[in-house]
């Protein structure tokens, strides 16, 4: 199964967040989407998952066009995701956070029980998943009571528990410290499978470089370059996008100096106009 973006654009009002983007993701690999802040990385994830509508173009999973489908249908077709800022069900236990994923997906299954997992089967799968993610010891702890790092891992587990073929990870390392990030990278690398595509949006370059099979670099909503980590690392345009040209660096320095001269930002400037 493959996920493909065909000439996808996304406008927010007059702002063009994504312009004519075409990408394709096959199962069996880990992909990373990187780019400077505001490049449109998260927008891509949100469009695939159906949180954002697509202004033009098509997103296909296999032969099915995903855009225009409601969000829950997209998830049912096999796209699961994590969120940039943690969104667990804080008031429910770790185990329950996974169990919810197995709610019967249609009225028919719900009423007839056909294709529906029994409670024992459901629990078996969830417990196996918890063991895989080293969360078995906290199965009955409320998700909101876990330390941050383990909440991140729980969200990862929730994205993988249903064996979705397409998994979108929105900044899995955000807020983690150095060791935790390394563990997270190892964990994601270990989740690579023949029948699964993992698509990663991430800022941590070490992580991206170490686990990705292909990296897509976005800048201002357009594909700057795409290829193996080595290829991307040496690409001049990527360096430019990230670090800026020498003239731009000078400009930035000047601007910073003039700001400092003004005595910092005015505190009330931002809130007044609407």
Note whether 120 binds other proteins by CB under 8 A: no
Of 22-30, 93-101, 145-153, 228-236, which part binds other proteins (CB under 8 A)? Answer: 93-101
Site string for other proteins, 8-47 (x = CB under 8 A): ----x-----------------------------------
Among 14, 261, 264, 274, binds other proteins (CB under 8 A): 274
Note whether 81 binds other proteins by CB under 8 A: yes
Among 22, 64, 72, 252, binds other proteins (CB under 8 A): 72
Closer by beta carbon to other proteins, 75 or else 238 = 75
Among 2, 6, 89, 180, binds other proteins (CB under 8 A): 89
| Contact of 5 with 18, CB cutoff 8 Å | no
Note whether 53 binds other proteins by CB under 8 A: yes
CB of 205 to other proteins, least distance (A): 27
Among 5, 54, 75, 130, binds other proteins (CB under 8 A): 75
| Count of residues interacting with other proteins (CB under 8 A) | 38
Note whether 55 binds other proteins by CB under 8 A: no
Q: Where do contacts with other proteins occur on this chain (CB under 8 A)?
A: 12, 49, 51-53, 70-73, 75-76, 80-81, 83, 87, 89-92, 96, 99-107, 119, 122, 158, 162, 267-268, 271-272, 274
């Amino acid at each position: 199964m493959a996920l493909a973006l065909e000439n996808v654009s996304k406008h927010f009002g007059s702002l063009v967040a994504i312009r004519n983007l075409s990408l394709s993701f096959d199962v069996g690999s880990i992909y990373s989407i990187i780019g400077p802040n505001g490049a449109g990385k998260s927008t891509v994830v949100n469009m695939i998952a159906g949180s954002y509508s697509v202004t033009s173009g098509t997103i296909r999973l296999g032969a099915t066009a995903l855009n225009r489908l409601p969000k829950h249908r997209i998830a049912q077709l096999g796209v699961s995701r994590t969120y940039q800022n943690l969104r667990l069900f804080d008031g429910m236990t770790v185990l329950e956070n996974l169990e919810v994923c197995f709610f019967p997906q249609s009225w028919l299954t719900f009423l007839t029980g056909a294709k529906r997992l029994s409670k024992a089967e459901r629990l078996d799968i969830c417990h196996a998943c918890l063991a895989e993610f080293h969360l078995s010891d906290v199965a009955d702890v409320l998700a909101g009571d876990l330390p941050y790092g383990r909440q991140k891992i729980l969200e990862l587990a929730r994205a993988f528990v249903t064996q979705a073929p397409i998994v979108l990870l929105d900044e899995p390392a955000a807020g983690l410290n150095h060791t935790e990030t390394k563990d997270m990278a190892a964990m994601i690398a270990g989740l690579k499978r023949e029948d699964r595509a993992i698509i990663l949006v991430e800022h941590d370059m070490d992580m991206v470089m170490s686990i990705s099979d292909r990296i897509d670099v976005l800048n201002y909503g357009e594909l700057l370059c795409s290829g193996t980590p080595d290829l991307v690392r040496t690409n001049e345009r990527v360096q430019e996008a990230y670090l800026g040209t020498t003239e731009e660096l000078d400009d930035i320095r000047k601007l910073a100096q003039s700001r400092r001269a003004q005595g910092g930002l005015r505190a009330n400037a931002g809130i007044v106009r609407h």
